[in-house]
């Protein structure tokens, strides 16, 4: 089987005059228009994006014809340009549309009757002539002139941006960010767009810069390129870059000589746009935000480890005996030691893999401390992780972002050093997922008398964001650490847990034994004997269900075919799992035939093939009931990178998509859909903090650059009940043995030392 490529539809052109604006959002630019097109008897529905539209305007559009189940034939535009009308009828309709404040239908007729086709020139260049008409005084005159000027500014900005390769949706965002100064800002430094506007990266800004004539070897381009390289390195998890690495990568990206790049780095350092620091006697460069986050995290941990804490003085021996009796459990020796340490520490790290008793230990500590009527606060990096924490502790738990309470008005968290959290103990679960910036924000909001319990599995993949915070805290030896390693007897029944620990030790997972192909007397338990009137027939029986499987396949095409069959048919039939809700495909890569993107397209076609309305935005097609994932933090919506949801409704007329996230309905404008992608398959990194009934993992030699032990270990530990690996045994062996990943460049260990 081969994956079928998506054939792009041919682009068509359409021209006509707007008869009616059915819907227009000034916030997003999304619009639904009824357009009179030459050669078409009926009005045509046109869907697109424009900063402002009005009846009577002439449009020129590029796009495709589509048939919507609810709304019928539509022309969906990729580019939409509006032109002021030139006929008296069109001008009258345009001016009477309400777009220009102070001009209604009645006054529009009067203006056109008085000035004809020259009315636009009169308003713009000789507005005093408006006072010649009866019914217009100074107030209305000023209102019309001001509204006309505002519309002209918007149009000029849009024409300028679109002429330099900026699409309508991005142009609307630029205008919303910079307002009337948009052209001036872009001309002054187009690279600032990459810092200020979501969805515009360095390459897009660089294209605009080339359009407006900024030389390739200019210092402004070199400085922007250097920052971009550091941002790219931070997206790979690094908090800093070696100076030599920064020079080399910037030279490859920009094709600018090294002397200019050195000058650019120095200029950034001089203006504190970058910060230099030695790490292990090597000259390194930080983005200021990451430098401050590392310093802050270290300083706050040192601060919190000092002083009196509320549970100080509790007798550990008595507390352990009390909690064993209260919870009717027998704690292991290592758990008792951990409780002893926890009751004598103000900050503590608890780490360990699945099945080693982390939950029992944390619950025991919380039970002891809460008996003193102390305030306990629980948090985790993602909604799913917080929900799991709440279920396991029977206490309320919040995401870190919700706990800190983001304030959209100020762009900051409400809880900080000046307004600390009202708590005596903060528990941070799934701490391996917390990046350096978020950890700094969280710790700075913890009051001096409070303690902190940091819980996580240090052997999982590090955070998606920069830093290796949990590992660095442990490696610093500055904070007391409990490392649980003993697998409890009840957990040994799960091959998922046993194999996760085997993989973590560099040992191949133990797989279910296959029944022999030839039935004989010694193997009859694997077969059923079916008796008929005249014959005996031996047929293979379904083997008993396991919770861990490896399905071998030798080519990417074979892996893909088996994965699609397993997800859409085999697992739902044998295990009764819903293929959308219960099964999660986790892949090492985003790109390639077995990457998340390709698998999502294939799985969408099989699992949600007929739902309408379907909309295409930012390279994805979305439909109701699609499973999606948020790919960036959106503080205003309180939806964060890695949160998963399901599309409930698409309203093309209103230009909105309603998505359900863990029982909460969140509405997105169409131009915000670049924040989400399909999530039938996701990268292993994106799955951190989540847990799924069933996980399916493709693994192939084409993933060799990413085949790491902690990647496979993280993927396996995301499953509650079933793991299915599909791929090449050689690739699995490479992953289990592999620990070749480049260590993230951070300096937190030495700051804590």
Instruction: Please state, in angstroms and as integers, the Cα–Cα distance from residue 419 to each residue in 306, 423, 444, following that order.
Output: 20, 12, 10
Residue 586 CA neighbour count, 13 Å, CB half: 30
Structure tokens given for 640: 């964060």
Strand arrangement, sheet containing 644-651: 664-669, 656-661, 644-651, 627-630, 676-678
> Is 48 assigned to a binding site?
no
Torsion of CA 255, 260, 266, 272, to 10 degrees: -60
Runs of H (alpha helix) within 394-529: 400-404, 436-444, 469-476, 495-504
Helix, coil or strand: residue 258: helix
d(CA 512, CA 369): 44
β-sheet bridge partners, residue 300: none
What is the rounded CA–CA span in Å between residue 602 and residue 584? 14
Map residue 647 onto helix, strand or coil.
strand
- CB-based contact 463:472 (threshold 8 Å): no
- Rounded Cα distance, 461 and 642, in Å: 14
Does 112 show up as a binding residue in the annotation?
Answer: no
- Give 581's contacts (C-beta < 8 A, 6+ positions apart): 627
Alpha helices (H) in 62-167, listed in sequence order: 88-95, 105-115, 119-125, 138-163
Question: Per the structure block, which two tokens stand in for 308?
Answer: 């009196």
Residue in this structure with the two tokens 């697109």, named with its chain if needed: 48
Cβ distance 186 to 208 under 8 Å? Answer: yes
Q: Cβ(54)–Cβ(99) under 8 Å?
A: yes
Query: Minimal CA–CA distance to 719: which of 739, 690, 745?
Result: 690
**Inter-residue contact 284 to 241 (CB < 8 Å):** yes
Answer yes or no: is 357 a known binding residue.
Answer: yes
* 426 neighbors 453 (Cβ within 8 angstroms): yes
**Residue 356 annotated as binding?**
yes
Query: Residue 727, annotated ligand binder?
Result: no
Are 584 and 694 a contacting pair, CB within 8 Å? yes
Long-range Cβ contacts of 386-394 (<8 Å, 24+ apart): 386/429, 387/662, 388/429, 388/691, 389/427, 389/429, 389/430, 392/359, 392/362, 392/363, 393/359, 393/362, 393/363, 393/366
* Residues 380 and 512 sit within 8 Å (Cβ to Cβ): no
The annotated binding site is made up of 355-359
The annotated binding site for ATP is made up of 355-359
């Amino acid at each position: 089987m081969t994956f079928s490529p998506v054939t792009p539809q041919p682009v068509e052109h359409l021209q006509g005059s707007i008869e009616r604006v059915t819907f227009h959002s000034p916030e997003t630019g999304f619009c639904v228009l009824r357009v009179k097109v030459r050669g078409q008897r009926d009005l045509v529905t046109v869907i697109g994006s424009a900063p402002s539209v009005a009846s009577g305007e002439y449009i020129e559009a590029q796009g495709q014809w589509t048939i919507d189940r609810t709304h019928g034939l539509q022309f969906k535009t990729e580019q939409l340009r509006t032109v002021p009308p030139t006929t008296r009828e069109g001008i009258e309709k345009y001016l009477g549309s309400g777009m220009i404040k102070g001009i209604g239908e009645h006054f529009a007729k009067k203006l056109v009757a008085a000035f004809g086709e020259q009315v636009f020139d009169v308003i713009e260049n000789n507005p005093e002539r408006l006072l010649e008409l009866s019914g217009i005084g100074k107030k209305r005159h000023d209102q019309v002139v001001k509204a006309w000027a505002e519309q002209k500014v918007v149009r000029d900005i849009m024409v300028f941006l679109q002429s330099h390769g900026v699409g309508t949706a991005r142009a609307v965002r630029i205008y919303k960010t910079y307002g009337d100064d948009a052209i001036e800002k872009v001309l002054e430094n187009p690279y600032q767009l990459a810092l200020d506007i979501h969805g515009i990266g360095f390459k897009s800004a660089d294209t605009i810069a080339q359009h407006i004539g900024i030389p390739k070897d200019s210092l402004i381009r070199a400085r922007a390129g250097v920052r971009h390289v550091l941002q790219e390195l931070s997206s790979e998890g690094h908090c800093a870059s070696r100076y030599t690495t920064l020079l080399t990568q910037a030279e490859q990206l920009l094709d600018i000589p090294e002397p200019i790049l050195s000058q650019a780095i120095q200029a950034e350092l001089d203006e504190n746009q970058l910060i230099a620091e030695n790490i292990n006697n090597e000259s390194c460069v930080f983005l200021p935000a990451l430098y401050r986050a590392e310093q802050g995290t270290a300083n706050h941990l040192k601060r919190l480890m000092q002083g009196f804490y509320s549970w100080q003085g509790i007798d550990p021996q008595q507390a352990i005996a009390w909690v064993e009796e209260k919870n009717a459990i027998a704690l292991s020796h290592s758990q008792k030691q951990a409780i002893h340490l926890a009751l004598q520490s103000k900050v503590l790290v608890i780490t360990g893999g699945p099945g080693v008793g982390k939950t029992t230990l944390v619950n025991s500590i919380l039970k002891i401390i809460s008996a003193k009527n102390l305030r306990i606060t629980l948090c985790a990096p993602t909604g799913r992780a917080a929900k799991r924490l709440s279920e396991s502790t029977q206490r309320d738990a919040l995401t870190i972002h919700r706990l800190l309470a983001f304030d959209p008005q100020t762009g900051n968290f409400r809880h900080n050093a000046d307004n600390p959290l009202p708590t005596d103990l903060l528990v941070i679960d799934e701490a391996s997922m917390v990046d350096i910036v978020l950890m700094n924000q969280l710790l700075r909001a913890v009051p001096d008398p409070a303690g902190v319990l940091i819980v996580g599995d240090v052997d999982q993949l590090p955070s998606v964001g920069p830093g290796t915070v949990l590992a660095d805290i442990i490696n610093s030896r500055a904070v007391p650490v409990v490392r649980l390693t003993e697998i409890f007897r009840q957990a040994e029944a799960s091959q998922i847990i046993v194999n996760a620990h085997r993989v973590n030790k560099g040992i191949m997972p133990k797989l279910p034994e296959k029944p022999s192909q030839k039935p004989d007397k010694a193997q009859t338990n694997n077969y059923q004997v079916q008796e008929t009137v005249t014959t005996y027939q031996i047929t293979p029986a379904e083997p008993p269900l396991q919770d861990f499987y490896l399905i071998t396949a030798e080519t990417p095409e074979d892996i893909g075919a088996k994965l699609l069959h397993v997800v859409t048919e085999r697992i739902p039939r044998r295990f009764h799992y819903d293929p959308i809700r219960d099964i999660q495909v986790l892949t090492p890569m985003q790109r390639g035939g077995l990457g998340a993107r390709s698998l999502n397209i294939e799985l969408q076609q099989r699992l949600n093939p007929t739902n309408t309305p379907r909309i295409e935005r930012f390279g994805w097609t979305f439909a109701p009931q699609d499973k999606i994932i948020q790919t960036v933090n959106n503080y205003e919506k309180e939806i964060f990178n890695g949160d998963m949801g399901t599309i409930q409704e698409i309203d093309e007329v209103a230009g909105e998509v309603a998505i359900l996230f863990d029982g909460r309905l969140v509405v997105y404008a169409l131009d915000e859909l670049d924040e989400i992608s399909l999530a039938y398959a996701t990268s292993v990194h994106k799955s951190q903090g989540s847990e799924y009934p069933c996980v399916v993992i493709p693994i192939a030699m084409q993933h060799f650059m990413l085949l790491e032990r902690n990647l496979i270990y993280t993927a396996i530990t995301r499953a509650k009940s079933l793991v299915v690996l599909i791929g090449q045994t050689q690739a699995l062996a490479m992953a289990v043995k592999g620990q070749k990943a480049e260590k993230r460049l951070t300096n937190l260990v030495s700051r804590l030392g």
